[in-house]
Amino acid sequence: MEKRLLGDGLEVSAIGLGCMGFSHAYGVATERAEAVRTMREAFDMGYTMFDTAECYTGVFTDGSVSYNEELVGEALHDVRDKVQIATKFGVHHEGRTVVTDSRPAEIRRAVEGSLMRLGTDYIDLYYQHRIDPAVPAEAVAETVAELIAEGKVLHWGISEVTEDYLRRANSVCPIACVQNRFSMMIHEHEALFPVLEELGVGFVAFSPLANGILTGAYDANSTFAAGDYRGAMPQYAAGAYERNAELFAYLGQLGKEKDATPAQISLAWMLAKKPYIVPIPGSRKAIRLRENAAAAQAKLTGEEVARIDAALAALPMSDVFGGSPVKRAE
């Protein structure tokens, strides 16, 4: 797979693997051996960037806890110097509510736990998972700068960041990339692109297929198991499929023109937008990983991207999941 350069000299595969779904938010966790095997297959396909987080946990069928970081570490332990592992601090869950805590002491606690679960002595890319309104950007950046000086972290980033917070944090410790929700159905973060280019910061796109709805694998009759967040997402709600029918038809048309699947068109579109965009679609199936990886070869010209943008602006679409409720730790 081709490589892309984010900020701060961080080179990664053009498409990364979002590993969350193996443990968290998609029903019962994938069994350990299967998850490890699938992640390793992803590496063999050319993926080198693997995205996880301290808070990505779930439950195996036997009732034990699935720690996503442990699965990633086990899958990649013997190719550690050939991959870039991204993990995150500053968030834990209370049910489906995201609780933020980026106090310096909490960051230091989190990094030690992540290093242990990953089975490594350094983290390639360490994200602040969500902004903590109680902790200044400068204080977070200073703490991460210390971790970088200690060799525990090589690069850092921020997820769901604003321009003001990005500028303040970057002024203390240079940021390699931001990670924001971005897809054909939700792309307001394009407004941040000029700032990223000014600062030399990359953009990692999570949920690039709008939690799977842009793959073409689901229809109006699709249902989800208990514990699968998609069951409560607006793009899967009653009437949403019909609302998005023109979008799906348009993706199908583009796919025929390019001999590509809807998912590949969606990923190729964002890859063609900017050279510093790296999508990290998640899947638990090797066949989907292979399909997504091939999107890096489905080239779109600037003219084609502009035409797609104009079409997307005119198409009716349902609401799309924008994230879980967030509160500050008490």
Do residues 147 and 126 make contact, with C-beta atoms less than 8 angstroms apart?
yes
Per the residue annotation, which of 56, 126, 127, 276 is the catalytic one?
56
CB-CB contact of 261 with 189 (8 Å): no
Q: Report the distance separating Cα 7 and Cα 233, nearest Å.
A: 33
Can you read off the two tokens belonging to residue 229?
Answer: 């967040």
Q: Can you tell me the distance from the alpha carbon of 290 to that of 300, in angstroms, rounded to the nearest whole number?
A: 19
Is residue 291 within 8 A of residue 263, CB to CB? The reply is: yes
Cα 220 to its chain centre, rounded Å, is 26
H or E element, residue 159: strand 153-159
The CA distance from 237 to 214, in Å, is: 15
Question: Which residue stretches of 244-328 are H helix?
Answer: 245-258, 262-273, 286-293, 302-314
Active site residue 229: no
Q: Which residues are catalytic?
A: 56
